Structure 1
Amino acid sequence: MSEIKAIIVDDEQHCIDALQTMLQKKCPGVQVIGWAKSVREAKEMIDELQPDLVFLDVEMPYQNGFELLKLFEKVYFDVIFTTAYEQYALKAIKFNALDYLLKPFSVKELQDALEKCREKKLNRPKDQGISPMEVFLQNMKTIQQTHKKIALPTINGLVFMPVQNIVRCESTGNYTRIFFTDKKNLMVSRPLKEFEELLSDVDFFRVHNSHLINMQQMQSYIQGRRRLCTDE
């Protein structure tokens, strides 16, 4: 297998040094070809050096790691996010099955992330359609805007749906059926748990193992029967 050319993007020098040392001593097959401390520096370096992989810090001054990715028309390199914060952004990363390391991370966690990265690259189809990274970036752009939307991956591409138009989400094994205010529904290849993690911060509540509801759409609660009524 060819050597992976990697760039580290982090605003803290001690984090760069620690990661670089771990890669050099414990992760054969990975060559660090550069590092950057800001979005501007990282964009110039990525354009110039064309890395295979970027270790990307989420929280940085002035501009964060996600804003760097938005500067690329298409993200052609693999990304392993590094972050010290358990928050909404990490939920979104998990939701789209992207790789991340929660600081401080161990050598084993780093090696596991690299192995997953290699496996995805080997198994990635040539024509993969909408990538998890594209879905992730779209969700990060839209879900925190005034008119919140979520990007839902389907076999035909992405469906952009205002969060307030979702009435409820119902589990069907490893899939979730989403019901909308216009009485339509959509099956998405994500388990309900991942929708719970993504939407819990925008007033969604899991009332049952199989049901996640939009509290803004709830019309009534029938006491004693444990029944929630919506307009759907």
Structure 2
Amino acid sequence: MKALIVDDELFCRENLKFIIGEYCPEITSIAQAGSAEEARQYFSESDADILFLDIKMPNENGFELLESISNKNLSVIFTTAHNEYALKAIKAQAIDYLEKPINIEDLQDAVKKAGVKAKKPNNSLEEIKALIRRTANEKIAIPMREGYEIIAYQDIVHLEASESYTMIYLTNGKKLLSSKNIKVYEDKLDSEVFFRTHKSHIINLQYHIKGFSRIDGNSAVMSNGKQIPIARRKLQVFLDRIADM
């Protein structure tokens, strides 16, 4: 199989190339590109079975590069040092990604999966593009006294009932007091992303769950450090959900 490594950092490209050469004998050709523009130039002249794609790159990121690639049988393996919100959705869809520093066993597993995909026609690249677009567009209009504020799903950590209002906690530390009650948000928010743990709480299970604690009762540990109570009747469903992550 032929592979292309796209990463703006030379050290990362060389390191991944070395590891692939040592531990992935099924890959017989390894090319490199230091930018999305260089990658497009490569694809205009050649082809690849596997694309190792960094997300964070200057000028044009990995997701933007994918939009300009038309090879339907290309297997994409994302590489990143950042636990991006989009990567969580990608992982949930069983699309491979490797966190830096690269783990050899994870790399070998990802390459084996890519080898299986390469043997049969598939539309995985289009599915990845659609997933990225869908994830990037996940937003909600928050009714405020003064009007509406548009917030992306990944920016919401959790929601808390405040009498007939709802307090919404954001990743930047900001809090929004919405004029709608929490039941409105339970019905409106995507249940694949959010989970109501308690009559007074909804958490962002897809992007901001950090752990589970039994200290002082069952609670979900969020990315902002808050511990959100989990009602007894909700506990097993919660545990099943995080076990599938």
Question: TM-score range with shorter-chain normalisation?
Answer: 0.5 to 0.7
Q: In the alignment, what sits opposite 1:138? A: 133
TM-score (norm 1): 0.60
Q: In the alignment, what sits opposite 1:153? A: none
Which range moves more in the overlay, 50-59 or 136-145? 136-145
Compute the displacement of 1:13 (Å): 0.8
RMSD: 4.0
Compute the displacement of 1:135 (Å): 3.1
Number of residue pairs aligned between Structure 1 and Structure 2: 175
C-alpha separation in 1, matches of 2:53 and 2:108: 16
C-alpha separation in 1, matches of 2:13 and 2:208: 33
Q: In the alignment, what sits opposite 2:31? A: 34
* Contact 2:72/2:124 (<8 A) preserved: no
Match of 2:18 among 17, 21, 36: 21
Q: In the alignment, what sits opposite 2:61? A: 64
* Contact 1:20/1:32 (<8 A) preserved: no
| Structure 1 gap segments, 5+ residues each | 150-165, 169-178, 212-232
* Contact 1:96/1:135 (<8 A) preserved: no
Q: For residues 194-228 of structure 1, what are the alpha-carbon distances to aligned partners after superposition, in whole Å with 9 as ceiling and x for unaligned?
A: x8315879xxx9963437xxxxxxxxxxxxxxxxx
CA 1:38 to 1:111, structure 2 compared with 1: closer, same or farther past 3 Å?
A: same
**SS of structure 1 residue aligned to 2:205:** helix
* Mapping 1:1-232, distance limit 5 Å: 4-72=1-69, 75-122=72-119, 126=121, 132-143=127-138, 146=150, 167-168=185-186, 196-198=205-207, 208-209=234-235, 210=237
| Structure 2 gap segments, 5+ residues each | 141-149, 154-183, 196-203, 210-221, 223-227, 239-245
CA 1:75 to 1:196, structure 2 compared with 1: closer, same or farther past 3 Å?
A: farther
CA 1:95 to 1:135, structure 2 compared with 1: closer, same or farther past 3 Å?
A: farther
AA aligned to 1:143 is: E
CA 1:139 to 1:206, structure 2 compared with 1: closer, same or farther past 3 Å?
A: farther
TM-score (norm 2): 0.57
